[in-house]
């Protein structure tokens, strides 16, 4: 069974402002404002290239950052679930 693939709006649907380590994000599609901490903004960046599974996103992020976790893929999957509940990401 194939793993779920996640998708996000393209970058121009979001307006981001960095304020001391936190990302303030205005999501144009919903009109909602979100506060994101790493790795959430990095996950959205990874999905800008197209839909991907949790493992693929973890791998992509892992190339540029160190994910502090015993199980990076699970940590990324948990963040993806949060982003999905917030409406920033959905499963295709």
Partner 1 sequence: MNHVFGLKVGPVSFRIGSQWRGPVAALRRLYAGYPEPDGVCDFTVRLEAERIWRRWLRPSVAIRGDYVLPDAAPLPLAQGLLAAEMGMNLQMALGQKRFLLLHAASVERDGRALLLTGHSGAGKSTLAALLGERGWRFMGDEFALLDLEDGRLHPFPRAVSLKNESLGLLNGMDPGRLGPVLEGTPKGTIRHLRPNPEAVARMGEAARPVLILFPRFGRGLEPAVREVGAAEAFMRLTQASTNYVALGERGFDALARFVGALPSKAIDYADTAQAEALIDDLWPAA
Partner 2 sequence: MRDARLLVRLLAEPDRAGEVRDWTSLIALARAESLIGSLAWRLEGLDLPAPVEALLEAARRDGEAARVQALWEAEMARRALAPLGIPVILLKGTAYAAAGLEAGRGRSIGDLDILVPRRGLPDVERALLAAGWEWVKEDSYDDQYYRRWMHELPPLIHRERDRMIDVHHAILPLTARPRPDMAAMVADRAPLADGLFTLSPPDMIVHAAAHLFADGDLAGGLRNLWDIDRLLREFAERDPGFWTALRERANRHGLLATVERAVRLAHHLYATPANWGQLTVADRLYCRRLVARDGWGRAKRPLTRLGFYIRSHWLRMPPLLLARHLWVKARKARR
What ranges in 1-92 are assigned the alpha helix state H?
40-47, 54-64, 72-85
Lookup: tokens for 41: 């903004």
Is 6 exposed, middle or buried, given 0-12, 13-18 or 19+ CB atoms closer than 10 A?
buried
Binding site partner of 29, from partner 2, partner 1, none, Cβ cut-off 5-8 A by kind: partner 2
Q: State the binding string over 17-56 for partner 1 (x if CB under 8 A, else -).
A: x-xxxx-x-x-x--xxx-x---------------------
First to last CA, the chain: 14
Using CB under 8 A as the binding rule, whether residue 33 contacts partner 2 is answered as no
CB nearer partner 2, residue 29 or residue 69: 29
Binding site partner of 68, from partner 2, partner 1, none, Cβ cut-off 5-8 A by kind: none
Using CB under 8 A as the binding rule, whether residue 15 contacts partner 1 is answered as yes
């Amino acid at each position: 069974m194939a793993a779920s693939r996640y998708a996000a709006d393209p970058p121009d649907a979001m307006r981001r402002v960095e304020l001391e380590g936190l990302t303030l994000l205005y999501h144009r599609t919903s009109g909602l404002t979100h506060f994101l901490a790493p790795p959430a903004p990095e996950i959205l960046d990874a999905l800008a290239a197209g839909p991907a599974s949790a493992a693929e996103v973890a791998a992509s992020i892992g190339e540029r950052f160190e994910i502090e976790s015993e199980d990076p893929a699970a940590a990324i999957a948990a963040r993806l679930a949060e982003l999905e509940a917030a409406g920033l990401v959905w499963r295709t």
